Amino acid sequence: MERHAMFAELTEAFGPSGYEGDVRAIMAGHFSGPMSVSTDRLGSVVASHEGEAKGPKILLAAHMDEVGFMVKHITKEGYIRFLPIGGWWPQVLLSQRVNVRTRKGDFEGIIGSKPPHAMKEDERKKPPEIDELFIDLGVVGEKGAADAGVRPGDPIVPVGDFRPLANGVLAAKAWDDRVGCAVLAELANDLPKHPSRLYLAGTVQEEVGLRGARTVAGLVEPDVAFAIDVSLSSDTPGADSDAVEKFGAGAAVLVHDSTMIPNVALRDFVCEVAEAEGIKYHLTSLHGGYDTGAIHISKIGVPSIALGLPSRYIHSHVSAIYEEDYSALLNLMKAVTQRLDSKKLSEITKFV
């Protein structure tokens, strides 16, 4: 499959936390072939491949879920009040298109609020809270909503197409974390020769608290783990201009996030591999968490690190990445996978 077609399929797929089925089916399709595919009991999909029988168990995790919403209740007039699933900044929601999945199909709607001309002066100055917003499907009354099959609990996602912009910048919804899913898909489709037992996992429910990562760690019991996810680009007006994270900076190696301090020997190994292969990378940190936040404290501990890709406007209807950074991240994961063997594992886990 051509890369942009794969990006479009993955980013446009419907998959808020807890409703990852469509993405899971796409990932299972990429995984089948040289790898054997299974799932845990929460819905994460795991592909495995044995390069060497006694090699270390290496887990590469990317989350399949995206931030979205859920139907909370339906008003007498037929409008939907909704809950956020994952972190949303309400300012990005007004007048955006969404897709509501009911038992009768997918219905497109618009996020509305009290009209500005009906607001008092001070109301107009502050952004609305999410619970003041509603979704308009075009239906009339409770009966109209019922005819569309709308019920509390129905999942909702932003509507957004994959669109290449100028200069190698790619816009889409849900780059967080379908870009990590894309890396796993490309690895599975062109599996590097590796001295390990390799596990590629599309995890569920990351955006609501790294839940799928926990159960995948239970299933795989990895020796080493990587999260592949988005990091934050700081090259837009008003962002932290001192930060190194920008489009063109290559793969991001996370030295700190709110859920984990990475294994230092593993971090250094990843940097050495990037330097040896001439792959662009940078060291960065982030306020937030990754799947490795749950994986690294499972069982007796798992040496872990999160690798990212500079991204703009995540957790909105349209986010952006830079294609060359994607290639750097993919190449880094390939090179790390090829070199991480039993000897390296014993170095990484040697504390005394």
By CB under 5 A, residue 245 contacts Zn ion = no
265 burial via Cβ count (<10 Å: 0-12, 13-18, 19+): middle
From residue 203 to residue 242, the character string flagging contacts with Zn ion as x (rule: CB under 5 A) and all else as - is --------------------------x-------------
Segment interacting with Zn ion (CB under 5 A) among 15-23, 168-176, 208-216, 336-344: 168-176
Smallest gap from Cβ 248 to Zn ion, in A, equals: 21
| Set 9, 206, 207, 245: catalytic member | 206
Cα 178 → chain centroid: 5
For residue 68, which of 44, 98, 46, 90 has the smallest C-alpha distance? Answer: 98
Segment interacting with Zn ion (CB under 5 A) among 32-40, 90-98, 175-183, 195-203: 175-183
- Which residue from 9, 20, 65, 176 is in contact with Zn ion, where contact means CB under 5 A? 176
End-to-end CA separation in angstroms for the chain: 47
By CB under 5 A, residue 257 contacts Zn ion = no
Contact 224, 340 (CB under 8 A): yes
| β-bridge pairing 231-232 and 310-311 | parallel
Smallest gap from Cβ 63 to Zn ion, in A, equals: 6
Tokens 């879920």: give the residue: 65
By CB under 5 A, residue 154 contacts Zn ion = no
142 burial via Cβ count (<10 Å: 0-12, 13-18, 19+): middle
Residue 229 or 245 having the CB closest to Zn ion: 229
**Closest residue to Zn ion using C-beta atoms:** 177
Kindly give, in sequence order, each residue whose CB lies less than 8 Å from that of residue 236, ignoring residues fewer than 6 positions away: 312
Residue 249 or 307 having the CB closest to Zn ion: 307
Task: Determine which helix (DSSP H) or strand (DSSP E) holds 242, and give its type and residue range.
Answer: none
Residue 223 or 229 having the CB closest to Zn ion: 229
Residue 12 or 257 having the CB closest to Zn ion: 257
| 206 catalytically annotated | yes
Residue 229 or 257 having the CB closest to Zn ion: 229
By CB under 5 A, residue 177 contacts Zn ion = yes
Distances (CA, A) of 117 to 30, 43, 91, 125, 224: 50, 46, 18, 12, 57
Task: Tell me how far apart the alpha carbons of residues 33 and 343 are, in angstroms, rounded to a whole number.
Answer: 29
User: Which positions are annotated as active-site residues?
Assistant: 206
Residues of this chain that bind Zn ion (CB under 5 A): 176-177, 229
